[in-house]
Amino acid sequence: MRKLKSAGDTTREPGGRSSAGTSVEPHSVLDLSGASHLLVRCSRAGRSTRVERQVGAHSAEHAEHAEHARGIRGAQSVDRAVDACGEPTMMPALFDLRYEGGIIQEMGSLEPRPGERVIDLDGAYLCAGLVDAHVHLALGGASVTAPPPPTARRVAASPESAEALTREAVVAANGANHLAHGVTAVRDLGGYTSVAPAARGGTRPLVVSSAGAITRRGHYGAFLGFALGVDDDPAQAVRDRVAGGAGVVKVILTGSVDLERGVAPPAHFHSEELRRMVETAHELGVAVAVHANGAQAVTMAAEAGVDSVEHGILIDEESVRAMVDHDVVWVPTLTPLHALAVSGRWAAVPRIIAAHEAMVAAGHAAGVRIAAGTDAGSPGVAHGAVLSEVAHLRSAGLSPEAARAAVGAVAADLLGLGGGYGRLSRGAATDLVWFKQDPFADPSPDNARAPRPLGVLSSPRPTASVGARTR
């Protein structure tokens, strides 16, 4: 990014400088809450892509700039991103975009208005903010078992509150890592039983939280939330989660796949119990995400009316058809399987990956809506690795356009963000991210090689609409 300037000011300064003279350093978060208008310009050879934002008195706008931002060379095929998000009009690769109040108001050849402040993107590839539909913010990253920082030790009245403060710091740090990789919204599906804030500042993404997961006592997943005994009412557990502020209900229906034998475990809730949980959540206006592996469990979940199947490893064509028939979104989380394969510890993992990718391809061909979810926080999966998941989805047969939708419109709709979030189209209320070049064209599964965004613009969203079930 070259600089922040006033409309009509065509001077560029090394490192970037605001119209008020404030330096803009790489990786900084720029607070623009005092601005009345903001225009972001992405230009090459006198043409530009601009983003204008009206900043309200009670909002704060932020621009985050990554390393090498001053080395951008030309815009990259932004027209394909627009088409993939459903905009019917073909746009040129370089275009202007007016952004007010967090909403794309106009697209085309536009001129800046008097008094606008301008950010020059110098030809960057602009897209809607990326969405990771499956993360665990309290897991991975910084260790929650480490001694609390000095401020936590001073403030804490008990070991429990010290641990809570430390866990808050882990959640914040992992959230910041997502945003640094262009992920502006995430769905937190267990491991943190408090609700991470939906209305966030400039250093963490929008969070739709399950406030812990629901599982059966004696089975997999108690560390992710709440384990129910045989006499506990599953429907009441759902009501408790929603009353606690959950924007999505997470149910763990099965355990993980047996990596030694390559088989899926049985369900540990009965179909009627699962159906009651789904019906209760839907009556309360909240979607249901179900961790399920194996054909029988995934078919059961789809027939119970769940909104999404998480993982869905070792399934068959019947369970794919069930997801199509019941309009279930599939979040296949390919990244953690590939992370496990690196160790070479489990002989069955390559076979499991091959089978899983084959069914992802079959599901995509059959019309299953697929959303990108990294399972960040699980072993070997970094927070912010969503472009690695995109690379794995591409390897499994998704086109660049389908991959964009998986990390954009499909995932955003699954989170219940509404307003056209995740789309680069007129009228969309979405955050914006820009890269040196198209990150979807040839993504790398190695997160260390994945492109970092040159910048991120995120806007506070009304909390009442976040996580609301949209179907």
Pair (281, 372) in one structural domain = yes
Pair (232, 375) in one structural domain = yes
Pair (101, 217) in one structural domain = no
Residue 280 lies in a domain: yes
Question: 343 pLDDT band (50/70/90 cuts)?
Answer: confident
Domain CATH code at residue 262: 3.20.20.140
Residue 144 lies in a domain: no
357 vs 44, which has greater pLDDT?
357
Question: Per residue in 272-296, pLDDT tens?
Answer: 999 999 999 999 999 999 999 999 9
Residue found by looking up tokens 């129910």 in the block: 228
Pair (296, 391) in one structural domain = yes
Say how many domains are in the chain: 2
Pair (283, 365) in one structural domain = yes
The predicted structure's pLDDT at residue 33: 38
Residue 215 lies in a domain: yes
Residue 227 lies in a domain: yes
Which residues lie across from 29 on neighbouring strands? 64
Residue 436 lies in a domain: no
Pair (347, 265) in one structural domain = yes
The predicted structure's pLDDT at residue 111: 81
Residue 359 lies in a domain: yes
Question: Per residue in 418-433, pLDDT tens?
Answer: 999 999 889 999 998 9
Residue 461 CB contacts under 8 Å (≥ 6 apart), including other chains: 102, 198, 199, 206, 417, 429
| Cα gap 2→403, rounded to integer Å | 30
Pair (214, 104) in one structural domain = no
Average pLDDT (123-138) is 92
Residue 459 lies in a domain: no
Question: Per residue in 45-103, pLDDT tens?
Answer: 223 344 443 332 222 233 332 222 222 222 233 333 333 333 333 455 667 778 887 88
Q: Is pLDDT of 22 > 60?
A: no
Do residues 322 and 295 lie in contact, with contact meaning Cβ atoms separated by under 8 Å? no
Average pLDDT (189-212) is 74
Cα–Cα separations (whole angstroms), residue 405 to 107, 232, 421, 457: 20, 39, 11, 20
Pair (97, 193) in one structural domain = no
Q: Is pLDDT of 115 > 50?
A: yes
Going by the DSSP 8-state scheme, the letter that residue 290 receives in this structure is E
Domain that holds residue 354: 130-136+182-199+209-419
Pair (344, 238) in one structural domain = yes
Pair (86, 186) in one structural domain = no
Residue 147 lies in a domain: no
Average pLDDT (210-214) is 95
Average pLDDT (93-114) is 79
Pair (255, 394) in one structural domain = yes
- To which H or E segment does residue 434 belong? strand 432-435
Question: Per residue in 25-36, pLDDT tens?
Answer: 433 333 333 333
Pair (377, 238) in one structural domain = yes
The predicted structure's pLDDT at residue 385: 94
